[in-house]
Structure 1
């Protein structure tokens, strides 16, 4: 289980992934400043920890398709929000991750 943040004390199990959601946009593409009530929750996050993988029927672990440092997209209502050491994280199953963001 790799950790990107030295203070992170979460160790995800099986096929779970710990994400740090990206900050909500402060401005629209046209340059209009958004008040806090109008900001949408981000649906992108950075992977900060991954579990060892899910066990298959034969008892072997299946490797995850994401790794620490990847930026991923997730569903609006997926996963569980948790707070650790004053930071917000989201724990999701790998199947709830919609895709990777590539540059």
Structure 2
């Protein structure tokens, strides 16, 4: 997802604010062609393990009730696990996922 398109997507989600340590993710588009130009058949496409954080919650709480700050910020590219997300469909062709911050495997530097 291009960084320039991020403000438009964030504007759509002003009514959706993840709670606690949840992160709203837009998964990357599947790879359909290799760098060399070979078109991949549908059978070789695997699960998408990469996405962009669209919105994040304020953070979880520890045993003393203090807020633990989030490490993931909106706009971060992240590495995702196979399972563990809640699917959210707000528009006809737009699908987003909500993960707990602790389920996100890593951030990907640009």
Indicate whether the TM-score tops 0.5.
yes
1:45-60 equivalent positions in 2, closer than 5 A: 45-60=51-66
User: Residue deviations 1:31-56, cap 9 Å, x none?
Assistant: 32123343222111000000010011
Does residue 77 in structure 1 map to residue 83 in structure 2?
A: yes
Does residue 6 in structure 1 map to residue 11 in structure 2?
A: yes
* Matching residue of 1:101: 108
Per-residue deviation, 1:29: 4.0
Q: Which runs of 5+ in 2 are unaligned?
A: 1-6
SS in structure 1 at match of 2:75: coil
Q: Which runs of 4+ in 1 moved over 6 A?
A: none
Taking only aligned residues, the RMSD between alpha carbons, in angstroms, comes to: 1.6
Relative to its length, the structure with more helix (as a share) is 2
The aligned length equals 101
Q: Which runs of 5+ in 1 are unaligned?
A: none
TM normalised by structure 2 equals 0.82
Contact 1:7 1:85 in 2 (8 A): no
TM normalised by structure 1 equals 0.87
* Matching residue of 1:34: 40
Contact 1:46 1:69 in 2 (8 A): yes
Relative to its length, the structure with more strand (as a share) is 1
User: Residue deviations 1:51-70, cap 9 Å, x none?
Assistant: 01001111111001010000
Measure, in 1, the Cα distance between the counterparts of 2:67 and 2:107. Answer: 22
